Amino acid sequence: MGFGELLEQVGSTGRFQVLHTTLLLIPMMLMASHDLLQNFVALVPPHFCNAHTNLSQSQMSAEEALLVTVPLDQTGKPERCLRYAAPQWHLLTKNRSSSSGKEGDTNAGLDVDLQGCSDGWTYNMTHMKSTIISDWNLVCDQQSLKQMGQTVYMGGALLGSVVFGGLSDRYGRRILLLISHLLMAVSGTCAAFSTAFPLFCLFRFGCGMAMSGVVLNTFSLIVEWIPTSVRTIVGTTTGYCYTVGQLMLALIAYFIRDWRWLTLAFSLPFFVFFLIAWWFHESSRWLVMSNNPEQAIKNLKSVAKFNGRKEEGEKIDMKRLQETMKKEMSCSQGTHSVLDLFRTPTMRRMTICLSAVWLSTSFAYYGIAMDLQKFGVDIYLIQVIFGAVDIPAKVVMVVSMTYIGRRTSQSGTLIIAGTTVLINLLIPYDKQTARTCMAVLGKGCFAASYNCCYLYSGELFPTIIRMAWAGYP
């Protein structure tokens, strides 16, 4: 049985595993909040051009200044990015003398010069007191910078997965988890105090890197201290922590409507998590594979003592460790790389298939969940709905995997989710309710697929890697 036999000897599901897993999962709730923070800190409020400078000191009301400054679009709403080159005083006279008729008709038949918002914008801050959009005027010609902010964050996540994944195999999961917690705390705090958009992007890039480091090393530390029999349950629980994080985001954002304080609220706790992480035990399996069996034995004895099995733990010595993990220790003598995952047909097929599923699931999941404002529904309500739909979706997925199988369940959810996305393309944009319902169904299916991906990867990839190390044909 290898390491699993030693784990059973010191207690594989004892008090240590419960406390260890719980403390590791708490930060995972805030990972969802950081992933989707852009929905609130980059919320685009209704806006229109400021009045001309010579109107700023006038005694007109805000409505009158808007009337003579900003033209109306085809729906009768003020244009967001254009204003009259000069105040249209005749519109004010017409508006006062008119007692009936549509407001949108005040611009009918006019041939006037328009210009951009050279004096800035006025924002209607109904949902948030401030956002990065209103603070740095990321609208009109600068509106693409909103997407750039999220792209930079995901770029950090991409780089972090490569860097922290490789470093954790060399230097250990615990030390990289400590670094990731500290990086998230510092980067998030600095992002909240950013004075310019480029600085904000820089620190959000650090948050993205930290997010990957936290997720990868948390999952590794959890899986390597629990038996295979409970990995499905723990993997599902991990998915629900992400769901709870989405609901927490909506709740906290509802009460904290300033983007700086909201960013701080989800970043400062990582200083506490950094301190807690010093208690975590390094994976004894990794220690053995890294030719550090003495520390592995020490950690196993510590776990046995914590689980009330001190006598069993004292029986573990170097001889016992070598006999039990002879195969694993022999595999650790060589050098290995990610190329081992493509060395044989079986491993190559499994790696490519899992990577393709991860890519399609993540692409669609985040594409739906990271821009909720486009659905035209109250941003707090839609965040709750999109978070809550994960709960039944993941329950159905667990039941389906149990009775139907993982491969069938995975493919089924992807087919249904893809169908809902295609149907949504055919629904007229003004049918917001129908579009939102289809999006919620699709997001639930992608969430279920995401959960299945985690379980698949957590169980298959360690097996694939061990097969590669052992020279499995």
Whether 350 and 397 map to the same domain: the answer is yes
Task: Examine residue 131 and state whether it is found in any structural domain, yes or no.
Answer: no
Task: Examine residue 234 and state whether it is found in any structural domain, yes or no.
Answer: yes
Predicted pLDDT at 258: 92
**b/e map 230-240, b = 16+ CB within 10 Å:** ebbebbbbbbb
Q: What is the pTM of this model?
A: 0.83
Whether 250 and 343 map to the same domain: the answer is no
Task: Examine residue 354 and state whether it is found in any structural domain, yes or no.
Answer: yes
Full domain range(s) for residue 195: 1-73+147-331
Whether 151 and 174 map to the same domain: the answer is yes
Whether 426 and 316 map to the same domain: the answer is no
Whether 303 and 437 map to the same domain: the answer is no
Single residue among 331, 352, 383 that ends a domain in this structure: 331
Task: Examine residue 88 and state whether it is found in any structural domain, yes or no.
Answer: no
Predicted pLDDT at 109: 45
Task: Examine residue 99 and state whether it is found in any structural domain, yes or no.
Answer: no
Whether 171 and 240 map to the same domain: the answer is yes
Distance of CA 440 to CAs 11, 378, 398, 450, Å?
A: 42, 14, 19, 15
Whether 46 and 157 map to the same domain: the answer is yes
Whether 326 and 342 map to the same domain: the answer is no
Task: Examine residue 12 and state whether it is found in any structural domain, yes or no.
Answer: yes
Task: Examine residue 11 and state whether it is found in any structural domain, yes or no.
Answer: yes
Whether 359 and 407 map to the same domain: the answer is yes
Whether 394 and 346 map to the same domain: the answer is yes
The total number of structural domains in the chain stands at 2
Whether 431 and 446 map to the same domain: the answer is yes
Single residue among 331, 346, 364 that ends a domain in this structure: 331
Which residues of the chain fall short of a pLDDT of 50? 99-106, 108-109, 463-473
Predicted pLDDT at 104: 46
Domain CATH code at residue 304: 1.20.1250.20
In degrees, to the nearest 5, what angle opens at C-alpha 78 toward C-alphas 76 and 79?
110
Task: Examine residue 231 and state whether it is found in any structural domain, yes or no.
Answer: yes
Burial classification of residue 252, based on how many CB atoms lie within 10 Å of its CB (0-12 exposed, 13-18 middle, 19 or more buried): middle
Single residue among 280, 306, 331 that ends a domain in this structure: 331
Question: Which tens digit of pLDDT belongs to each residue from 228-252?
Answer: 778 777 877 887 888 899 899 999 9
User: Do 411 and 450 contact (CB within 8 A), yes or no?
Assistant: no
| Joined tokens for residue 366 | 């985040």
Whether 203 and 324 map to the same domain: the answer is yes
Question: Which tens digit of pLDDT belongs to each residue from 4-15?
Answer: 777 787 777 888
